[in-house]
Chain A
Amino acid sequence: MSMNIVEHRLTCIVCPIGCIITVRMLGDGLEASGYRCSRGLDYVRQEILDPRRIAITVVKVRYGDTPVVPVKTDKPIPKKFVREVARLAAYMEIEAPVELGQILLENILGTGANLIATRSVRRIE
């Protein structure tokens, strides 16, 4: 019987050394080599099993002193949702004023993260 072994090569981003870590997936198990410290191992485990990112994009603003406001998710969300967030945000439009940190959308795409404004926008009529 042959077992399906999937191999990944990842560059660790925890510190500036940038170890190249090889990860072998054996069924449910994970085997890694090439890391210099345990933080590297934690990094690849997270990256392989549940990669997450902060999503960033911009949202249209009516009556603002700038036509868009930058936004982000207030915590990292599964990587596969990052593009979805940008797509969804492209259809949103809000009204100025906007405050730094204001929640624009709660629990975005069911990720448990909120979409928040990352700067303030003043209102101009």
Chain B
Amino acid sequence: MTRYDAVIIGGGPAGLSAALKLREKGFNPLVIESGDRIGGIPFQCIHPGFGLHYLGEDLTGTEFIQRIIDKVEDQGIEYRIRSHVVKIIYSKNRYPYKMIEAISPHGFLEVEAPIIIYTAGARERTLFEIGVTGRRLSGVFTAGEAQAYMDVYGILPGSRIVIIGSGDVGLIMARRFALEGAKVEAVIEMMPWPGGLTRNIVQCLMDYDIPLLLGRMAIRLEGKRRVEGVITIRVDEDLKPIPGSEEYIECDTVVVSAGLIPNVRLLEEMGLAMDPSTRGPIVDDYLESITHHGIFIAGNSLVVNDLVDYVVEQGESAAESASILLSEGVKPRSYVRIARGRNIRFAIPQYISCERDVVLYMRVQKPEYDVRICFEEISKEFRYPVVRPGEMIRLILRKDDLTFLKGLDRLSVEVRRI
């Protein structure tokens, strides 16, 4: 049995930046990655838009992650590729350690560590999860699969494309297809507003004259062996289909970009407390599970992020907390719960210790202009000219302000109009 100070599950930007931070603090981590290489999603993102906040430079996903990979190699951080973690055996004490079981090319891998940093990313929602019916046809891909085909392996998966979902991933893939000579027939979005950033609507769709069909839902795929078309239907304000409004779009490829869901099956099997609003684990401001000591979560496994900068921030923060735990041991904490109010879809972390500054990540339910985000009990507010579901809000609550919470059990947050 091999022992490490910490085992990091998943070698994407969250996991690798956690590993670098642990090494900087003098600890010896192991990264376990199921893919053919470390790097995670940015390895297949060839478009710019990475690192503006973190590095102050606009890099492509590949450039961003190559720099991190080079550091990991330089530091001689240990990692195992093609090694898929299948089980975590949990013990809440430092001794005996937690045990991680993985399947690897060298056989069954068993590793022990007092700390686990879980950074296994998110998985893409499939056609079956969004209620599209029809036969199991070929020519149907998730956006991430299509992206890997094109930009890691150099294969164009089709020539007439329909994209389901207008999140940034879908928009970016629409542009990639158009640029490589495929025709993007339409991007279909059920909501009355696009899911992705305005910047991507302009530079990915408008630049290439790609139609965006808002308030429409894909309901059925047609075709014999390969997909030949998609039937869509208009939806009303309650997202109910309007009979008689069906339309048929011919295509040979359907790309599903229906959002990401934290990849947390292993955590669920261990019984970690989960938050239905993020579909990830419930954590405190150390990014430690509220129910399982020594398990830290960062990146898209914690909450689906749109910016890699925040992913890296979470990875480093989880590693910093882990190093505190490794050197100082468990300390009892009391918590204040973040209570979500009007137009707040989720807030991370869900509990705060009030012992230090807190970075809060939030999303709204619907777009609004000229608003204040208000924290009732500490009389703090932050003004925003606009808030949108597609753009995660990041703000910092100062320790000094949080001292007002002594004796209270909750901190309420809501969006108010000015």
Contacts and interface: CB of A to CB of B under 8 A. Distances in A.
Contacts of B307: none
A120 B63 CA distance: 9
Contact of B207 (A56, A71, A79): A79
A13 B48 contact: no
B202 A13 contact: yes
B391 interface: yes
A67 B203 CA distance: 28
A72 to B, nearest CB: 6
Number of chain B interface residues as a range: 20 to 34
Interface residues of A, number: 30
A119 interface: yes
Contacts, number: 78
A60 B70 CA distance: 23
A56 B63 CA distance: 12
B385 A70 contact: no
Given A18-B386, A119-B63, A58 B202 contact: no
A58 B46 contact: yes
A86 B59 CA distance: 19
Contacts of B391: 16
A19 to B, nearest CB: 10
B407 interface: no
B152 A56 contact: no
B174 interface: no
A70 B66 contact: no
A30 interface: no
Given A11-B201, A82-B179, A68 B151 contact: yes
Interface in B350-402: 369, 385-386, 388, 391
B150 interface: yes
Contacts of A101: 63
Contacts of B48: 54, 56, 72
Interface in A39-88: 53-54, 56-58, 60, 66-68, 70-72, 79, 82-83, 86-87
B63 A66 contact: no
A114 interface: no
A58 B386 CA distance: 36
A17 B385 contact: yes
A120 to B, nearest CB: 6
Interface string A7-30: 000110101111000000000000
Interface string A90-125: 100000000011000000000000000011100000
A13 B198 contact: yes
B203 A70 contact: no
A123 to B, nearest CB: 15
B105 interface: no
A56 B154 contact: no
A70 B151 contact: yes
Given A10-B202, A18-B386, 9 more contacts: A11-B206, A16-B197, A56-B47, A57-B46, A70-B151, A72-B48, A86-B179, A86-B180, A118-B66
Interface of A: 10-11, 13, 15-18, 53-54, 56-58, 60, 66-68, 70-72, 79, 82-83, 86-87, 90, 100-101, 118-120
Interface of B: 43, 46-48, 59-60, 62-63, 65-67, 70, 150-154, 179-181, 197-199, 201-203, 206-207, 369, 385-386, 388, 391
23 contacts: A10-B202, A13-B198, A13-B203, A16-B197, A16-B198, A16-B385, A16-B386, A18-B198, A56-B48, A56-B60, A56-B179, A58-B150, A58-B151, A68-B153, A68-B154, A70-B46, A71-B46, A72-B60, A82-B179, A86-B179, A118-B46, A118-B62, A120-B66
